[in-house]
């Protein structure tokens, strides 16, 4: 389980909440359980970001804050945004319990969010995929505008369902698809990484398996 496994979790057909608005959907997903995610950083994100010099960061769809707390541990001043007040409340509580004042959180609807242009060194979005209405590409483009010169946008997505599952839903994309959809102006941006990486994961019934992540790293010149 990764910190953000939720975006790959419910399959629309079985998802009793798919008809809800995004806010209601995520509130329900979080409030129905104590704590959904492992709180561990995603391995693909850690591999990419671990090599960077810490600065300021924004994490989109931060959930219960696992990635933001990890960024804070690495020395980043990290700010998580999520539509769910419940998730953000848990993330704040965890940051407070660990004594991280460099990890901050805001509950906000990303579809209306307007960041300060070129204000941060890093924007991350891990598994920022959803079964409910979400203009993902528009939000990621808006987020890209927050990256300052020399900074990076890191997008990690589910490239494939777990092995043995027939799911290749509309959520599954490759890093190249992502780059093409984002269509960042090539005179301003360099695509540093656009590939698929597999990582070990626990499958159903505790069987080891592999998951494939699509990893996109774009750097503003």
Rounded Cα–Cα distance for residues 194 and 75 (Å): 26
- Judged against a pLDDT cut of 80, whether residue 85 lies above it is answered with yes
More confident residue, 208 or 191: 191
In the chain the domains, ranked by start, together with CATH numbers, are 5-220 (3.40.50.150)
Q: Dihedral, CA atoms, 5, 76, 191, 195, nearest 10 degrees? A: -30
Where is average pLDDT lowest: 52-56, 99-103, 107-111, 170-174?
A: 170-174
Q: Give residue-wise pLDDT tens across range 111-136.
A: 899 999 999 999 999 887 665 557 88
Report the C-alpha gap between 153 and 144 in whole angstroms.
6
Q: Are strands 77-82 and 147-160 parallel, antiparallel or unpaired?
A: unpaired
Are 220 and 150 in contact by the 8 Å Cβ rule? The answer is yes
Helix residue ranges per DSSP H, 20-174 = 22-31, 43-49, 66-73, 85-97, 136-144
Please tell me whether the overall predicted TM-score, pTM, comes out greater than 0.95 for this model. no
Instruction: Express each pLDDT in 192-206 by its tens digit.
Output: 999 998 887 776 777
For residue 130, what are its two tokens? 């959803």
């Amino acid at each position: 389980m990764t910190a953000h496994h939720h975006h790959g979790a419910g399959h629309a057909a079985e998802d009793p909440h798919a008809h809800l608005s995004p806010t209601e959907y995520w509130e329900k997903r979080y409030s129905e359980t104590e704590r959904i995610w492992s709180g561990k950083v995603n391995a693909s994100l850690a591999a990419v970001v671990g090599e960077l010099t810490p600065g300021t960061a924004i994490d989109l769809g931060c959930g219960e804050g696992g990635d933001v707390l990890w960024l804070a541990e690495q020395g980043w001043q990290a700010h998580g945004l999520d539509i769910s007040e419940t998730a953000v409340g848990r993330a704040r509580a965890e940051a407070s319990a660990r004594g991280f004042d460099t990890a901050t959180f805001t509950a906000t609807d990303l579809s209306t969010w307007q960041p300060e242009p070129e204000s941060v060194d890093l924007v991350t979005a891990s598994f920022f995929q959803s079964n409910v209405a979400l203009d993902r590409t528009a939000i990621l483009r808006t987020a890209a505008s927050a990256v300052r010169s020399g900074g990076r946008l890191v997008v990690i997505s589910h490239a494939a369902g777990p092995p043995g599952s027939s799911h290749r839903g509309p959520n599954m994309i490759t890093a190249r698809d992502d780059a093409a959809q984002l269509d960042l102006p090539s005179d301003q941006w360099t695509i540093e990484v656009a590939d698929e990486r597999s990582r070990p994961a626990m499958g159903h019934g505790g069987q080891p398996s592999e998951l494939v992540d699509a990893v996109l790293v774009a750097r503003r010149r």
